[in-house]
Chains A and B, each alone.
Chain A
């Protein structure tokens, strides 16, 4: 199982968190996102319209990063503070 956390406009679309069942024991962030896109066309469409970064355990990671059991992939649209 992979857990996702969504922020900003993606949280409006997906809710704050969702758990996603997948068969692989080890999976990269990019592969997990691709699986989620397959099952959720609205999410896939949203990703086409915005640039996102990813974080695991409060650290920004690349899509090649392999998530461990219990990790949460944070999906981060463009930052906008201040």
Chain B
């Protein structure tokens, strides 16, 4: 399942819901990305822009690739858009598989994809002003591990 909207994400509730949809999986991996309260610039919030059709199509394609590479039983990719306050969850990914390695790696793959290859644009809002954030070199290197 893919979910892209402005609704706040509750990782505990999402995990509980996901656990009810994994059949006889032996492994579930989850990742929550949270807007840091105190980074280098005392971040108040992020603003996430996206291109609805393009963004969904790109994530669907990444999920397809993940399913072709690992035997996933189920997946959830949930991403906030709009304003996301510090301390709030901006992204949640869950993967279920028979064994842990597939669940871990597919979750990792999907997160690396979301950081650099999914059509989202992230503006950091702090007391010092606003700044559009681009991926770091490490993010591109992380993504490169899967090519």
Contact = CB atoms under 8 A, between A and B. Distances in A.
B51 A76 contact: yes
B122 A80 contact: yes
Nearest to B31: A82
A34 interface: no
Interface in A6-61: 7-9, 11-12, 55, 58-60
B11 interface: no
B10 interface: no
Nearest to B90: A82
A55 B115 contact: no
Interface residues of B, number: 26
B135 A80 contact: yes
Contacts of B135: 78-80
Contacts of A9: 121, 123, 132
Contacts of A79: 116-121, 135
Contact of A5 (B48, B51, B120, B133): B51
A81 B118 contact: yes
Interface of A: 5, 7-9, 11-12, 55, 58-60, 74, 76-82
Closest 9 CB pairs of A and B: A8-B121, A81-B120, A58-B53, A9-B132, A82-B115, A81-B114, A82-B114, A80-B122, A81-B118
Given A8-B123, A80-B116, 4 more contacts: A7-B49, A58-B51, A77-B132, A79-B135
